[in-house]
Chain A
Amino acid sequence: GAVVSQHPSRVICKSGTSVKIECRSLDFQATTMFWYRQFPKQSLMLMATSNEGSKATYEQGVEKDKFLINHASLTLSTLTVTSAHPEDSSFYICSARRTSGRVDEQYFGPGTRLTVT
């Protein structure tokens, strides 16, 4: 199947700093990528939809000025957590949509563990 990578796999940062997470589709082009957040023992929560060449669409309750998303190419989307606080500590997962036949397929990255101290 298609491969989606994330970098870094885990990151620790100090409160108040910004952290950038990259999501890449390695063997296909993705006009649409998604960013999720997952807290321990909970399900994935969709944060935003990232569209290549246009502004991201954020879900209700997600601060767009805090979680900056850039989808500058067909294989790369980035999520920047600005002015991170301990409550932003979570597991961040991206996915990329690949158009294939009748139904689009969605592939998930391995996730990025963010710890804010």
Chain B
Amino acid sequence: LAKTTQPISMDSYEGQEVNITCSHNNIATNDYITWYQQFPSQGPRFIIQGYKTKVTNEVASLFIPADRKSSTLSLPRVSLSDTAVYYCLVGNQNRDDKIIFGKGTRLHILP
């Protein structure tokens, strides 16, 4: 599985757009990029998944450059409730890959 590198922590303010970048230099051709959100004492929650270019859903956007060696999770207009740990994972679940979590990014939203 491709190893990922994310900032350990980030602070932002309510109403701001937050971008969290993840590096995955060894991503394989068949690998997808998936982001999860985790609140304290809860299981991770799926946010978004993509393979290349840009993916957008109701909660976030995911930007993936052409070389796919990094990706950026974009959270528009964050609120206090977005304070959580965000994990970037890379793998191909069709190959029965298991999901291995990195350290994640602890996002703290300030009022």
Q: Do A and B bind each other?
A: yes
Which positions in A face B, CB cutoff 8 Å?
1, 4, 6, 32, 34, 36, 43-46, 49, 91, 93, 95, 97, 102-111, 113
- The secondary-structure label for the interface of chain B is loop
Q: Which residues of A contact B101 (CB under 8 A)?
A: 36, 43-46
Q: List 9 A-B contacts (CB under 8 A).
A: A32-B96, A43-B101, A49-B98, A91-B41, A95-B43, A105-B46, A105-B93, A107-B46, A110-B43
Complex contacts, A103 vs chain B, CB 8 Å: 32, 49, 92-94
Smallest Cβ-Cβ distance to A32: which chain B residue: B96
Q: How far apart sit A95 and B42, CA to CA, in the bound complex (Å)? A: 12
| Residues in chain A near residue B46, CB distance under 8 A | 1, 105-107
Q: Please give the residue numbers on chain B whose beta carbons come within 8 Å of chain A beta carbons, in ascending order.
A: 32, 36, 41-46, 49, 87, 92-94, 96, 98-104
Given contacts A4-B43, A46-B100, A111-B41, 18 further A-B contacts (CB under 8 A): A6-B43, A34-B98, A43-B87, A43-B101, A43-B103, A44-B101, A45-B101, A91-B41, A93-B43, A95-B99, A103-B32, A103-B49, A104-B93, A105-B93, A108-B43, A108-B45, A110-B42, A111-B42
